Amino acid sequence: MPDEAVSAKNPEPPRTPEVIEDRDTARLARVVRVATPFISVAIAVLIGSIVIRLAGASPVQAFSAMFEGAFGGPRQTGETLLKATPLIFTGLAVTYGFRTGLFNIGAEGQLFLGGITAAFVGVQVAALPWAASVPIIIVCAALAGAAWAFIPALMKARIGAHEVITTMMFTYIGRYFVSWIIAGPFKDEGAIPQTPLLPETSQLPRISDVFSFVQPNRAHLGFLLGIVAALLMWWILRSTVLGYEARAVGFNPMAAATAGISVSVTTVKSLCISGALAGLAGAVEVMGVHHRMFDQLSLGLGFTGIAVALLAKTNPLGVIAAALLFGALSAGAGTMQLQAGVSPRVIDIIQGVIIFMVGAEAIVAWAARRITARKGAEHVS
Amino acid sequence: MPTDELRACDVSPVQGTGTPILELRGITKRFPGVLANDDVSVEVRAGRVVALLGENGAGKSTLMNVAYGLLGPDSGEILVDGQPVSISQPRDAIDLRIGMVHQHFMLVEPLTVTENIVLGLEPTSALGVLDRSRARSRVIELSARYGLKVDPDARIMDLSVGMQQRVEILKTLYREARILILDEPTAVLTPQEVRELFDIVRELVDEGLAVVIITHKLEEVMSFADEIVVMRAGRVVGTTTPGQCDQASLARMMVGRDVVLHVEKTPVQTGDVLLEVSGLEVLDDRKLEALRGVSFSIRAGEIVGIAGVDGNGQRELVEAVMGLRRPRKGSITLMGRDITRDDPRRTIESGVSHVPEDRHRRGLVLDFDLVENTVLGDHRRRPFSRFGVLDRAAIEREAASRIAEYDVRTPDVHVAAANLSGGNQQKLVLARELGRDPEVLVAAQPTRGLDVGAIEFVHRRILAERDAGKGVLLVSMELEEIMSLSDRILVMFEGRIAAEFEGGSVTEAELGIHMTGGARKAGTSEGGADA
Amino acid sequence: MLAEIFTPELFASAIRLATPIALAAVGAAICERSGVVNIAMEGLMLIGAFAGTTVALLTGSTWLGVLGAVVASLMFASMHAWASVNLRSDQVISGTAINILALGTTGFLMKTIFGHPGTTDPVKTLAPVFDLPRGDSSALGQLWNWIDTVLLSHTPIVYFGIFASIFLTWALYRTRWGLRLRSLGEHPRAADTVGISVYKGRWFAVLVSGFMSGLAGANLTLEQVGSFTEGMTNGRGFIALAAMIFGRWVPGGGYLASLLFGFADALQLKLQIFSDVIDIPAQFFLMLPYVLTVIVLAGVVGRAVAPAADGKPFEPRG
């Protein structure tokens, strides 16, 4: 089948690398690649500090309160892992899309579909033992997330409708749809619109309940699941035909199509895998934290996933680190508000700045050049 | 070739008369890792045609881009009418009445001819409202004056390449250019259009303009240039005139060694029909008819060359054969099996390899390293993968051996393909496509943009495939390439095969006539090759 | 019942509800014609809405609020211009950053300035431009009333939107600025070689988009709702993007496409009133504009062609 999607769209202008880059340029490029995330975070924290200062609070006090809240003890560290868990999944979701050249901006909606599915299936399989029900719920939630990405994927593959608009629209549609289920057909008894509590056999237990040597905290097995997922994705991208084709399409769809890789099929596969991972983010939140579904399950976990993926430079293992950073920010935000009186929304600003900075690699390249130039000067003197 | 013609060139500077209208003095331009222009000096005089001759990558375009303000030189100066000038952007060049026609036209496709010509210097009434009738009449006036006939209201995307080139020239004349730079102007033209172009150039020169033509084609240089400046590896290696030099010595100056101008070929020994195309009809991206019933066949052991002006259906033919574009009618048969509806993957797996016309867009994944590029398209097959898991060790072994066999020069097999030179990138594509041991090779513009050494390598490899009993479909804009390699030549015009010739039995001029549909208009051989 | 649904008020409300989408879509058409993809309209609108309300509340002047909305939106649009034009960032990522930054900034400032999250105090909205006498019960009077309600009952920014869409469409095809803008989006290198500044042209186009999105935010708070609520733009910026595509990158086309979305929105609001007659949960009505967006995209995208250089950073000369 010819790939209509490929021939129809405008190809990238060809690059004309006439020469092998000289060594300094290559080294600088490497430095920039490695340094970008760190410099981005530094600039974001700096801007965050200015904002806090302008709001009349002390940045030092605010950030130390935040650190205290994120790493002050086993309970706090547990909170950081807890907050990082869904971000690993949404971060991986966005990462897999990026690797195929797709921007899944709608992870948020897929997350809600995964969440409601986990809440629903979790109640239905109450009779099964834990070892059976948990895998069933996880698979169903992943499928639900994938299903929610399927129509945008198909629209992208068949007619080239931009996935940024379609997945975004599906986020709104999904949220209203889920909101209806929660308030209507699958509403728990009582006035609050929420689903019934999951039976214990459908929950993800806390790490400290499974491993007795871990101090009590709220982090649950979903975190370990996230690490497994990240490792699995790293291997898939590196060592499987699926990952190879996804990367080929992401780098150069025309060349991929010429070599017999179907761009449409790869697009659909990748966006659905991305959706599945976002669905899992919803599932771990429902199974590990709230044990039921409600309207406010996520306040932008899907969007933070974009920041996580970019900060990780779309490296699955980097996603774990980036998710931990954002998990820490999120876990510490409450303490920061309590002790320094700073609105936790400041972390959204930091997040926005990080995305901006990673996107604008030129700023970092400029900073890196300054640093290497200074180093060179030091060598001379 | 008679030896008495093989005399050395007189490379003494041509005696100038009066002040040069444009003088480039000691221009040096460095790019990361390469010295594109190394202390280059060139003089251009009014009423003269200067040919800037050199291989791809010799630094000709770089030099002229400096003159036009598109690139800033690292050192050196530019003089106009003997006065030092500063040209830091095209605006400055335009103000100094320098005009340039780029190899890749700088035309905005959806805009009209008039809009393109006036862009940047638009006649307006009050408050910046376009005065369209004034613009239009100015264009009509200019095209009448210089004999450059063109429809002022046509959209660029509906024009032929030759017409687009006229628009580009009109653009510079509209800006009252005295110095006209043409970058590889004949690359995409038919022999007839080339002649027309040189007539126009002659007329402009007679009007007192100075014209600089960047080219790598020796024959043309001999026929139109008043002066020849030969460049090699960023330096001027000599200045001469057609009267003082012959083609062979020019070639030697250009390349730096003796060049075999003709490819050695063994007599053709054809076998069974490998690929059969019949009655093929295909639509292009704009849903217009690109192929209107094309039929031909390729036998084992022969090279079938497709000549034609760009945009007469060659691209769509290649895409249809490779399964990248679904035909509306007709059939494609490979060794007796119908592959008309096969997808690219099946086509490749059935034994058709493809050297795409654009190695950056289609041939390689530039961000992949050499190893990953080597198995692109074969990655699903054993031993490279099993049950969907890549065998990275096996892939690496294969890549290393093919990179060695095809002489791909690289510091490391794990660098991105983007970092290779054009010639090495094309060798990598060949290593992959030929290393697969196909039955049929489809090669589109296989030597575009390569230097002489790489061109020779590619030609040798294509001939080796033919001699090994494979079928080769060669599509090229370079008539010389078509004529020297092909055993049979098909000329495509407006989606049809306009003529067929045995290799070696036809001249460039004859091909040219068929390439523009001349013969058909004369009522001779429509679709004569379909048999 | 149909007569109760398809009232003049429905059409008036369609125009009203279309306005923020239309303003953003018209601005986006200009922006994308210059070759810069702008998915930041959602954030720009939100910033405009917040700044408009805040300035209006603090100064007591709604018009100063409108000015504040435009200025704030232009500031954020400048970031997008800087990133897309000078830094050659991925324009979709830069737009995403601004959307998230806008959400964070408005939330943060809401808490800092007003001391609480959620919704601000109400603010005085702009009055309709015309206040014309109603017609009598004759056929002519009824017709007049219909025209008055549908077309002459609107607030200033609504009319500005109509004017801007017509003016910018004309300017795109009939002025020097428009010709150059179109060349930037199709073949910036060609524009560059005839001495047109790609950077300046694109900067200006992004700012036009920022201006229009800021006005869209002002329209939302200072003409329609009368207060600011966090996240109140609710995807309108993305719908505007779809409207612009549906309108084939022409400002006037974007406006007309927005009317479709405005009508869908007006209709779903109207239908909610009849929820006892039509037994469909409210959530499904609320989905309607988003579903419509998807359907419109599915129907049109394959045939609409974006400017050739849309979204591609312009590499300066060496």
Q: pLDDT per residue over B149-190, tens digit each?
A: 899 999 999 888 888 999 999 999 999 999 999 999 988 788
Helix (H) or strand (E) holding B478: none
What is the rounded distance in angstroms from the CA atom of residue C225 to the CA atom of residue A240? 53
Helix (H) or strand (E) holding B493: strand B488-493
The beta-carbon neighbor of B90 closest among C176, C179, C194 is: C194
Contacts of A232 in chain B (CB under 8 A): none
Contact yes or no for B385 and A241 at CB 8 A = yes
Chain A nearest-CA residue for B392: A239
**Percent residues over pLDDT 70 in chain C:** 97
Contact yes or no for C302 and A176 at CB 8 A = no
What is the rounded distance in angstroms from the CA atom of residue B192 to the CA atom of residue B176? 27
Contact yes or no for C175 and B129 at CB 8 A = yes
Contact yes or no for A362 and C87 at CB 8 A = yes
> Is A2 in the C-facing interface, judged by CB distances under 8 Å?
no
Q: Which of A148, A171, A173, A366 to mutate to test the interface with C (most CBs of C within 10 A)?
A: A173
Q: Which residue has better confidence, B148 or C31?
A: C31
Mean pLDDT confidence for B328-352:
94
What is the rounded distance in angstroms from the CA atom of residue A250 to the CA atom of residue A271? 12
The beta-carbon neighbor of A169 closest among C108, C293, C312 is: C293
Residue A233 backbone zone (phi > 0: left; psi -120 to 50: alpha; other: beta): alpha
Q: Side-chain half-sphere of B289: how many Cα atoms within 13 Å? A: 11
Closest C-alpha among B370, B362, B356, B358 to residue B418: B370
Residues 6 or more apart in contact with residue C145 via CB below 8 angstroms: C8, C134, C135
Mean pLDDT confidence for B201-229:
91
Dihedral of alpha carbons A127, A130, A135, A141, sign: positive
CA dihedral of residues A87, A89, A95, A101 (deg, nearest 10)? -120
pLDDT of residue B13: 55
pLDDT of residue C304: 66
Mean pLDDT confidence for B58-81:
92
The beta-carbon neighbor of C183 closest among B91, B111, B171 is: B111
Q: Tell me: pLDDT of C15 over 90.
A: yes
What is the rounded distance in angstroms from the CA atom of residue B416 to the CA atom of residue B77? 37
CA distance A204 to chain C (A): 31
Task: Return the minimum-mean-pLDDT range out of A132-141, B299-308, C134-143.
Answer: C134-143
Q: Tell me: pLDDT of B109 over 50.
A: yes
> Is A336 in the C-facing interface, judged by CB distances under 8 Å?
no
Q: Which of B106, B125, B167 to mutate to test the interface with C (most CBs of C within 10 A)?
A: B106
Task: Return the minimum-mean-pLDDT range out of B246-250, B305-309, C45-49, C127-131.
Answer: B246-250
Are B36 and A16 spatial neighbours (Cβ–Cβ below 8 Å)? no
Q: Which of residues 352-391 of B touch A (CB under 8 A)?
A: 354, 356, 358, 360-368, 372, 376-377, 379-380, 385, 388-390
Model confidence, pTM: 0.88
What is the rounded distance in angstroms from the CA atom of residue B433 to the CA atom of residue B435? 6
| Runs of H (alpha helix) within A199-345 | 207-210, 222-239, 241-251, 253-258, 263-284, 301-311, 316-340
CA distance A107 to chain B (A): 27
Are B463 and B495 spatial neighbours (Cβ–Cβ below 8 Å)? no
Structure-token pair, residue A96: 């897999």
pLDDT of residue A16: 37
Structure-token pair, residue B410: 């690289």
Structure-token pair, residue A315: 């490296």
Dihedral of alpha carbons A344, A346, A351, A352, sign: positive
Are B394 and B384 spatial neighbours (Cβ–Cβ below 8 Å)? yes
CA dihedral of residues B451, B457, B460, B461 (deg, nearest 10)? -120
Dihedral of alpha carbons A133, A135, A140, A145, sign: positive
pLDDT of residue A369: 63
Structure-token pair, residue B246: 């012959």
Give DSSP secondary structure letters for B212-247. EEEE--HHHHHHH-SEEEEEETTEEEEEE-GGG--H
Are B37 and B52 spatial neighbours (Cβ–Cβ below 8 Å)? no
Contact yes or no for C301 and A151 at CB 8 A = no
Determine whether B30 is exposed, middle or buried from the number of CB atoms within 10 Å of its CB (0-12, 13-18, 19+): middle
Contact yes or no for C179 and B111 at CB 8 A = yes
Q: Residue B282 pairs with which residues in a beta bridge?
A: B291
ipTM of this complex prediction, to 2 decimal places: 0.89
The CA–CA distances, whole Å, from B359 to B184, B320, B457 equal 20, 18, 16
Q: Which of residues 255-294 of B touch A (CB under 8 A)?
A: 285
What is the rounded distance in angstroms from the CA atom of residue B104 to the CA atom of residue B84? 29
Contacts of A251 in chain B (CB under 8 A): 365-368
B155 by DSSP, 3-state: which? strand
> Is B388 in the C-facing interface, judged by CB distances under 8 Å?
no
Side by side, the strands of the sheet bearing B83-85 are B34-44, B22-31, B75-80, B83-85
What is the rounded distance in angstroms from the CA atom of residue C83 to the CA atom of residue C17? 31
Contacts of B368 in chain A (CB under 8 A): 247-248, 251
Q: Number of helices and strands (H, E) in chain B?
A: 17, 22
Determine whether C295 is exposed, middle or buried from the number of CB atoms within 10 Å of its CB (0-12, 13-18, 19+): exposed
Q: In this complex, which chains have at least 3 CB pairs below 8 Å with chain C?
A: A, B
Are B253 and B247 spatial neighbours (Cβ–Cβ below 8 Å)? no
Determine whether A215 is exposed, middle or buried from the number of CB atoms within 10 Å of its CB (0-12, 13-18, 19+): exposed
The beta-carbon neighbor of A360 closest among C89, C107, C301 is: C89
Name the average pLDDT for chain B. 89
Q: In this complex, which chains have at least 3 CB pairs below 8 Å with chain B?
A: A, C
Q: Which of residues 31-90 of B touch A (CB under 8 A)?
A: 31-34, 57
pLDDT of residue B10: 62
Structure-token pair, residue A340: 């320094």
Chain B nearest-CA residue for A258: B362
What is the rounded distance in angstroms from the CA atom of residue C169 to the CA atom of residue C32? 14
The beta-carbon neighbor of A14 closest among B34, B358, B368 is: B358
pLDDT of residue B519: 59
Euclidean distance between the first and the last CA atom of chain A, given in angstroms as a whole number: 64
pLDDT tens profile C93-115 = 899 999 999 999 999 999 889 98
> Is B70 in the C-facing interface, judged by CB distances under 8 Å?
yes
Q: Tell me: pLDDT of B209 over 80.
A: yes
Residues 6 or more apart in contact with residue B23 via CB below 8 angstroms: B41, B42, B43, B44, B78, B79, B80, B82
B20 by DSSP, 3-state: which? coil
Mean pLDDT confidence for C278-298:
87
Task: Return the minimum-mean-pLDDT range out of B489-493, B513-517, C47-51.
Answer: B513-517
Contacts of B94 in chain C (CB under 8 A): 194-195
The beta-carbon neighbor of B380 closest among A7, A241, A255 is: A241
Q: Which of C179, C186, C198 to mutate to test the interface with B (most CBs of B within 10 A)?
A: C179
What is the rounded distance in angstroms from the CA atom of residue A182 to the CA atom of residue A293? 7
pLDDT tens profile B384-433 = 999 999 999 999 999 999 999 999 988 889 989 988 888 899 999 999 99
B35 by DSSP, 3-state: which? strand
What is the rounded distance in angstroms from the CA atom of residue C185 to the CA atom of residue A247? 29
CA distance A8 to chain C (A): 8
Q: At what angle do helices C251-273 and C282-300 cross, to 10 degrees?
A: 160
Q: Residue B236 pairs with which residues in a beta bridge?
A: B231
Low-confidence residues of chain A, pLDDT below 50?
A: 1-21, 375-381
What is the rounded distance in angstroms from the CA atom of residue B352 to the CA atom of residue B371? 22
What is the rounded distance in angstroms from the CA atom of residue B480 to the CA atom of residue B508? 8
pLDDT of residue B6: 37
What is the rounded distance in angstroms from the CA atom of residue B199 to the CA atom of residue B205? 10
**pLDDT bracket for residue C175 (50, 70, 90):** very high
Q: Which residue has better confidence, B520 or B367?
A: B367
Give DSSP secondary structure letters for A95-137. HHHHHTT---TTHHHHHHHHHHHHHHHHHHTTTS-HHHHHHHH
Closest C-alpha among A4, A49, A83 to residue A264: A4
Side by side, the strands of the sheet bearing B303-307 are B352-355, B440-444, B471-475, B303-307, B488-493, B496-502
Q: What are phi and psi of B276, to 5 degrees?
A: -130, 120
Q: Tell me: pLDDT of C14 over 90.
A: yes
Are B306 and B495 spatial neighbours (Cβ–Cβ below 8 Å)? no
